[in-house]
Amino acid sequence: MKYFCPTLADKELHITPDNPSSSSAKSTSTSPENSNPRGPGYTDTPTPPGKSSPWLIVWAGLSISLPLLLLYIYSCSPQTLQIGQFELKQILGNQDIDALLAALDEPEPAPIAVAKDTIPTIALDSNGHAIERDTTSSFLTGGFLHKPFTLPAYELPVFADTTKHRILLIGDSESGGLRYPLNDYCLANGHKLILSLEWYSATTFNFGRSDTIQKIIAKYKPTYIFLVFGLNELYARDLKARKIAANQLAKKLRGIPYAWIGPANWDEDNGINKVFQSSADSATFFLTKKLTLTRAGDGRHPDVQGYRIWMDSIASWIQTSARYKMLMKPPRKRGRPFRAPIITINAAKYRGY
């Protein structure tokens, strides 16, 4: 009669006396030929099927991201990359902006007349505020449907530093914040702010290609114009097209004193300030990007204090260095009531051309 005494190994292998295979399993586990060559206590842990190695994932990520990073760095660099006899050229990379702008300073052809059914319109109420887009307004559409709009001549005062001006403010969303400190300066110096045209999300194309500005000028007859835009074009690289549009805008202003105010950069631009400066008449462009302005919560626009600092700098430049100087002494009171009419347009709904 045999007696069976289970051992610890038997318990681990769940060997029972009645199981005939247990004895072979036991002998197999203790066989010297099948002992673990890596030493006792070592067990192989196979990689689960379908699960990639972490190092393989890291290597794949680096192989994709590193070339993209190098291409991005190269696109921002003024250097050219040469590999052997081959030179890698940038498609939209750093352009010779000064040469590009100088080549485009030639007169541009007159804009082509637009058919009646393709002309968008702005409608104004009796206070000069924008109303429904689909309605019509005589001063914007009447008589100019089949030919380009020509700005009618009107009498400008004899220009002098002490002239009391009718000031028109035109621009994008930054002009909407600048109009309040400008209003303070106008009231303090005997000028009249006759209109603030705020064109949300507008760019040089909206201002240069459309005849909206000319029609506004024809109606309100300003003696001095403030242009404030460019915030939406800091990253623009199609500088040739924007230079042509900026030239078209400059032509619309000929004969009227103006100050072209560059955008309050919240980041470095790709050359749009140079575009504006090259299209504007000499000493009529104010470079804002070098100013340090406090910012609103969105990080893009100045806050109330930032707009005041900005306007103070503009006013000082107009009195001392601008081509068209005028009286712009600092106001004693700030935040005075704003009574000028306001036209607001959204470029997403009305682009003007």
pLDDT at 145: 36
For every residue of 35-59, DSSP letters joined together read S-TT-TT----PPPTT---HHHHHH
User: Do residues 17 and 4 lie in contact, with contact meaning Cβ atoms separated by under 8 Å?
Assistant: yes
**Which of 29-43, 90-104, 169-183, 194-208 shows the lowest mean pLDDT across its residues?**
29-43
- Delimit the domains of the chain by residue range: 55-94, 100-346
User: Do residues 290 and 261 lie in contact, with contact meaning Cβ atoms separated by under 8 Å?
Assistant: no
How far apart are the C-alpha atoms of 226 and 320, rounded to whole Å? 17
**H-only helix segments in the chain:** 8-12, 20-30, 54-75, 97-103, 138-141, 173-189, 204-209, 212-220, 239-252, 272-279, 304-320
Q: How confident is the model at residue 93 (pLDDT cuts 50, 70, 90)?
A: very low
The alpha-carbon radius of gyration of the chain (Å, integer) is: 36
User: Do residues 353 and 114 lie in contact, with contact meaning Cβ atoms separated by under 8 Å?
Assistant: yes
Q: Which helix (H) or strand (E) holds 81?
A: strand 81-83
pLDDT in tens, 281-302: 999 999 999 999 999 998 889 9
Alpha carbon 309 to its chain centroid, in Å, reads 22
Half-sphere exposure of 275 (CA within 13 A, CB side): 29
What single-letter DSSP state applies at residue 199? E
Nearest of 272, 47, 261, 78 to residue 174 by alpha carbon: 261
pLDDT in tens, 321-352: 999 999 999 999 999 999 999 999 999 999 99
pLDDT in tens, 156-204: 656 566 679 999 999 999 999 999 999 999 999 999 999 999 999 999 9
User: Residue type at 205?
Assistant: F
Point out which residues pair with 82 in neighbouring strands.
87
- Which two tokens mark 241? 């097209």
Q: How confident is the model at residue 53 (pLDDT cuts 50, 70, 90)?
A: confident
Percent of the chain with pLDDT over 90: 52
pLDDT at 56: 82
pLDDT at 108: 40
Helix (H, G, I), strand (E, B) or coil at 159: coil
Q: How confident is the model at residue 235 (pLDDT cuts 50, 70, 90)?
A: very high
Point out which residues pair with 83 in neighbouring strands.
86
User: Do residues 196 and 169 lie in contact, with contact meaning Cβ atoms separated by under 8 Å?
Assistant: yes
User: Residue type at 169?
Assistant: L
Give the CA distances from residue 51 to residues 44, 46, 182, in Å, rounded to whole numbers and listed in that order.
Answer: 17, 11, 65
User: What is the chain's length?
Assistant: 353
pLDDT in tens, 141-160: 444 333 455 556 656 656 56
Q: What is the pTM of this model?
A: 0.63
Give, in words, the CATH class of 100-346.
alpha beta
pLDDT in tens, 247-289: 999 999 988 999 999 999 989 999 999 999 999 999 999 999 9
Per-chain mean pLDDT for the chain: 75
